[in-house]
Copies of this chain bind each other. A is one copy, B any other.
Amino acid sequence: MSDQFKSASIISIGNEVLSGRTVDTNASYLGRQLRLAGVPVVSAHTVGDRREMIVRAIELATSEADIVVTTGGLGPTDDDLTRQAFADYLGTELEVREALLEKIRAVFSRGGWPMPERNSIQACIPRGADAVENDWGTAPGIVAEKDGKLLFALPGVPREMKKMLEASVLPRLRALGQGQTVAVRRLHCYGAGESAIAEMLGDAMDRDRNPLVNCTAHLGIITLEIVASAGGADEAEAMLVEQESALRAVLGELVYGVDDQTLAGVVGEALARRGQTLAVAESCTGGLVAKLITDVPGASRYFARGWTTYSNEAKVAELGVASDLIETHGAVSAEVAAAMAQGARREAGADHAIGITGIAGPDGGNEQKPVGLTYISLDGLEGTSTSRHVFSRDRRSVRLRAAQTALNGLRQRLRG
């Protein structure tokens, strides 16, 4: 850890996550909030309700980062052990704080109940540490320092955790992190694999650079996350912008969007901007392309009509595909994909149309036409263009890759 940049580690305490009963959304929330406060999270740990394991996790976390935030284990029952573990780590004892006890009693009496005896443990704080106010529940948090490291204990209830983080923890961290701001942008790419993109980028993804560039791949979408850390917001933003244009210069039209943009959203914006409409004729994707397009609010401005024509009869009856075309080339062919796109455009009176036919699997493939074989056709004023693909993996992947590839093809057409 350098002196200049503070970092954080998160510890989630409790058995729920470990048993697979719940997904730990606290960790992801904390990760985002701390990063925006200028304190990147470098590790996260989850341990069960066992005192010595909590202590060991705190020891590891303080060796990894300057700031440690724990969530959970502050309730009143015997399996809530965060207070004791903090005391162990600090080498001290718990002591009752009268002011906290009064506050907890007041919470109960407001509800018309006496405080159950066991809740008095929630008024205990390790000697030398301070309480973090909790105005949204009974369990106060803990803030402590040791060997230059800063530790916070917050409740596991997401609502209380978030309120206390905002009210007490983040202001303190922002003061610490002064002088440091983190700016983040994600660039989404389609049309090349992860390694091809990594090769294009050369040393831009080296681990010790600032801005840092992280790369993830999901069903053909490659996302580059740019993280810029600097002394001030303007400086971080400027670094981000510079890195983004460097990446865009290399990647060109592979980049389809930033941050929360989707392929369907980008295509929709381009259609709306041009005042044009789209029709979709789907065989193997079975409605998925239409679904993706209409996921976007306001899609009615440009989405004209969609057909799911699985059978040959449906292709002939709905889209006017010539039946001898199907007989000669087969339903999964470039000719039929093109006829589907042309038929959909004609029938809907649309400016653009997509036609897709393929074999999503797991059955229905053979040596000439394997599972995953897909023909995608785009029809418009510019004419018809049809491409052949063999998508791999399972039915779900084949369908999603086919749909995304069709949308990406249309995106490129609309750029021209």
Spell out A's residues near B (CB within 8 Å): 14-25, 27-33, 35, 40-50, 53, 56-57, 60, 63-64, 75-79, 107, 110-113, 116-119, 136-137, 157, 159, 184, 186, 193-196, 198-199, 205-207, 214-218, 225, 227, 280, 282, 285-291, 293-295, 297-300, 303-311, 314, 317-318, 347-348, 360-363, 390, 392-397, 399
Quote the shortest CB–CB distance from A321 to chain B (angstroms): 13
Residues of B within 8 A of A18 (CB): 31, 40-44
Residues of B within 8 A of A290 (CB): 286-287, 290-291, 308
Contact of A46 among B45, B56, B116, B196 (CB under 8 A): B45
A-B contacts, 8 listed (Cβ < 8 Å)? A15-B214, A18-B40, A19-B184, A21-B31, A44-B46, A116-B199, A159-B393, A294-B360
A19-B31, A308-B294 known; A299+B280 contact, CB < 8 A? no
A24-B23, A40-B19 known; A207+B288 contact, CB < 8 A? no
A75 touches B112 (CB 8 A): no
Residues of B within 8 A of A286 (CB): 290-291, 293-295, 299, 303, 306
Quote the shortest CB–CB distance from A247 to chain B (angstroms): 14
Residues of B within 8 A of A30 (CB): 20
Residues of B within 8 A of A42 (CB): 18, 47-48, 50, 53
With A and B bound together, what is the CA distance between A317 and B110 in angstroms? 36
Contact of A60 among B24, B56, B186, B308 (CB under 8 A): B56
Residues of B within 8 A of A311 (CB): 300, 304-305
With A and B bound together, what is the CA distance between A310 and B57 in angstroms? 51
Quote the shortest CB–CB distance from A410 to chain B (angstroms): 16
> 4 closest Cβ contacts across the A-B interface?
A20-B32, A286-B294, A287-B290, A306-B308
With A and B bound together, what is the CA distance between A50 and B119 in angstroms? 42
With A and B bound together, what is the CA distance between A119 and B217 in angstroms? 14
B194 touches A75 (CB 8 A): yes
Q: With A20-B41, A136-B394 given, name 11 new contacts (CB 8 A).
A: A17-B31, A19-B40, A20-B32, A23-B23, A44-B45, A49-B207, A56-B63, A110-B390, A116-B199, A285-B291, A297-B361
